A and B are shown apart, each in its own frame.
Chain A
Amino acid sequence: MTDLTQLNLADARDGLAKKEFSAVELTQAHIDRVAASAALNAYVLETPEKALDMAAASDAKIAAGEARPLEGLPIGVKDLFCTKDVRTTACSNILGDFTPPYESTVTQNLWADGAVMLGKLNNDEFAMGSSNETSRFGPVVNPWKTGDTQLVPGGSSGGSSAAVAARLGIAATATDTGGSIRQPAAFTGTVGLKPTYGRCSRWGIVAFASSLDQAGPITHTVRDAAMMLNSMASFDKRDTTSVERDVPDYEAALTGNIKGLRVGIPQEYRVDNMPAEIEKLWQQGIEWLKAAGAEIVDVSLPHTKYALPAYYIIAPAEASSNLARYDGVRYGARQQGVDIDDMYAQTRAAGFGDEVKRRVMIGTYALSAGYYDAYYVKALQVRRLIAEDFTKAYEKCDVLLTPTTPSAAFELGKNVEDPLEMYLNDVFTVTVNLAGLPGISVPAGLDASGLPLGLQLIGKAFGEEELLRTAAVLEEATGFDAQPQDWWSA
């Protein structure tokens, strides 16, 4: 039998339908591979028994001719999604051994469509980071490496990106607040889709910055991303910003035809010190889409350079408010104090890591009396200017093409001491969150040292069908099929 962990989601679905293998066999192959992959530290909790139970139930469904859209397909879940009776920590010490008595809407949707849970995936603590180095469970290691140098898998969804790249799950759930799906996808040669804000319910996802957070998948292919989004997206009354809108069949949108599509190239994304290879890949992307019949249009997003500074007010401000709930009273790890205020302060001092403390403190500062207008209101005004840049650009084009990141994956530990340097990773992705738009990173090539690089497509609000259709054409043109060499299996 072929190696079942080599299959993508669509092929595994087809193989199950043709009864070439069973869901239990498919799941067992992934469980075995996960068990041998401790060197990557991608999973923070493995749930093999649960996975096999779910797979057996899927086999029964398939035998009865009642297969659901993701029947029997084993996936990993970012530890930011609450999973009923399965420990959920957001990779923070402050959540202790929190075991939710409920399931997030997105994961519930996936299980209702037949998907199988392999376990919980590592991430930056509370999704705050771009390298997966702030997790309480330690860093994730990128399956790709240069020589003997170990690299980061991107963040905050580094467990998700590493797991898919290393074939420790056919797909994974992830979340994106400033680039946390697309940047790790670019660093690992995988596809990462951040849907429009409001497309997937935030209910049951540990909150970081509520006006920016959005769930999406990391997958091998664009078709797989469409399959995952078909299940993950829904209208949910329990999320007040969930948008009441039908979920189209995203897979059916992949027609392969983008003739006449207008692709915008934002001039402001040519940043200083961008490696020539990335500039070259971007040009190549333009040529690929042109050859497929798209029209290339120069556009301007003049406030791009202000997106990161605005983000580093807005996201910490929302985080400082969201994370106020971790007070050692209702859940998580409590530290004793001399009185209740001291108990709060000691609990939070011990429970939060350095990056989380920094962001909560920046947010608290920006929201405090005397600084609120100068920082928080100002950032929200700039946010509107950034959103309006996109509105104007979309008068001239249908989608935008940009690089996903300003560099390939970097060395573990390289940026840990310099938060600002780390923040610059999100320079091309963060505008999309501020404007609430959908974006996707598609692996497009390898750099001179053999590391994957991604191109990003940005769509109109709720334009996921057009976005995915374009991404699939781009994917086809790249012919990208590189995989990391397996150095980690024990």
Chain B
Amino acid sequence: MSVDEKMVRRIANLARIGVTDDEVPALAKELSAIIGFVEQLSELDTDGVKPLTSAVDAKIRGREDVVTDGGYAEDVLANAPEKDDAYFAVPKVVE
């Protein structure tokens, strides 16, 4: 299956990556080539095979539901592109 220009725009929007009209045709070609490559997988019969999400056969460890970390808002905000008092600042979301 190939990735057409409409699909490129859809994926770019889902991924929140701005693309210009000039970039779309080249991206369609590149992504189609990669999808073409991975489509070899369809040759394999995988009926009934359980998907493997992690090589480690471990359960997620639980722990007591208590606060173990925190109390340093200044550190957390130190790398923020914009901040306001003890908050991250973003463009207005709610009118």
Chain A positions within 8 Å of B, measured between CB atoms, are 96, 98-99, 101-102, 197-198, 211, 237, 240-241, 243, 303, 305-306, 308-310, 312-313, 320, 324, 327-334, 336-337, 339-346, 348-349, 352, 357-358, 360-362, 364-365, 368, 374-375, 377-385, 387, 419-420, 423, 434-437, 461
Residues of A within 8 A of B51 (CB): 377, 380-381, 383-384
A385 to chain B minimum Cβ distance, whole angstroms, is 6
Which listed residue (B38, B40, B60) contacts A240, Cβ 8 A? B60
Which listed residue (B41, B58, B93) contacts A309, Cβ 8 A? B41
B45 to chain A minimum Cβ distance, whole angstroms, is 10
Question: What 7 pairs between A and B have smallest CB-CB spacing?
Answer: A436-B55, A380-B51, A349-B18, A331-B79, A334-B81, A384-B52, A345-B18
In the bound complex, do residue A99 and residue B49 qualify as a contact, i.e. CB atoms below 8 Å apart?
no
Chain B positions within 8 Å of A, measured between CB atoms, are 3, 7-8, 10-19, 27, 30-31, 33-35, 37-42, 44, 46, 49-56, 58, 60-61, 63, 72, 75-76, 78-82, 88, 90-93
In the bound complex, do residue A362 and residue B78 qualify as a contact, i.e. CB atoms below 8 Å apart?
no
Answer whether A348 and B31 are a contact pair too, CB < 8 Å, given A334-B82, A340-B91, A434-B55. Answer: no
In the bound complex, do residue B61 and residue A328 qualify as a contact, i.e. CB atoms below 8 Å apart?
no
Q: How far is the CA of A320 from the CA of B51 in the complex (A)?
A: 19
Which listed residue (A324, A358, A365, A437) contacts B7, Cβ 8 A? A365
A173 to chain B minimum Cβ distance, whole angstroms, is 21
Which listed residue (B35, B58, B80) contacts A241, Cβ 8 A? B58
Q: How far is the CA of A340 from the CA of B92 in the complex (A)?
A: 7
Residues of A within 8 A of B34 (CB): 312, 358, 362, 419-420
In the bound complex, do residue A352 and residue B17 qualify as a contact, i.e. CB atoms below 8 Å apart?
yes
In the bound complex, do residue B18 and residue A346 qualify as a contact, i.e. CB atoms below 8 Å apart?
yes
Which listed residue (A328, A336, A346, A379) contacts B38, Cβ 8 A? A379
Answer whether A385 and B49 are a contact pair too, CB < 8 Å, given A330-B80, A339-B91, A360-B17. Answer: yes
In the bound complex, do residue B17 and residue A385 qualify as a contact, i.e. CB atoms below 8 Å apart?
no
Residues of A within 8 A of B79 (CB): 96, 98-99, 330-332
In the bound complex, do residue B44 and residue A306 qualify as a contact, i.e. CB atoms below 8 Å apart?
yes
Name the residue in B18, B50, B90 with the highest tally of chain A Cβ atoms < 10 Å from its Cβ. B18
Residue of A nearest to B42 (CB): A378
A328 to chain B minimum Cβ distance, whole angstroms, is 6
Residues of B within 8 A of A358 (CB): 27, 30-31, 34
In the bound complex, do residue B35 and residue A348 qualify as a contact, i.e. CB atoms below 8 Å apart?
no
In the bound complex, do residue A380 and residue B91 qualify as a contact, i.e. CB atoms below 8 Å apart?
no
In the bound complex, do residue B15 and residue A385 qualify as a contact, i.e. CB atoms below 8 Å apart?
no
In the bound complex, do residue B16 and residue A327 qualify as a contact, i.e. CB atoms below 8 Å apart?
yes
Residues of B within 8 A of A197 (CB): 54-56
Residue of B nearest to A350 (CB): B18
In the bound complex, do residue B11 and residue A361 qualify as a contact, i.e. CB atoms below 8 Å apart?
yes
Residues of B within 8 A of A328 (CB): 81
Residues of B within 8 A of A382 (CB): 41, 44, 46
Residues of B within 8 A of A331 (CB): 79-81
Residues of B within 8 A of A436 (CB): 54-56
Q: How far is the CA of A96 from the CA of B55 in the complex (A)?
A: 33
Residue of B nearest to A198 (CB): B56
In the bound complex, do residue A332 and residue B46 qualify as a contact, i.e. CB atoms below 8 Å apart?
no
In the bound complex, do residue B35 and residue A211 qualify as a contact, i.e. CB atoms below 8 Å apart?
no
Answer whether A378 and B15 are a contact pair too, CB < 8 Å, given A337-B91, A365-B31, A436-B56. Answer: no
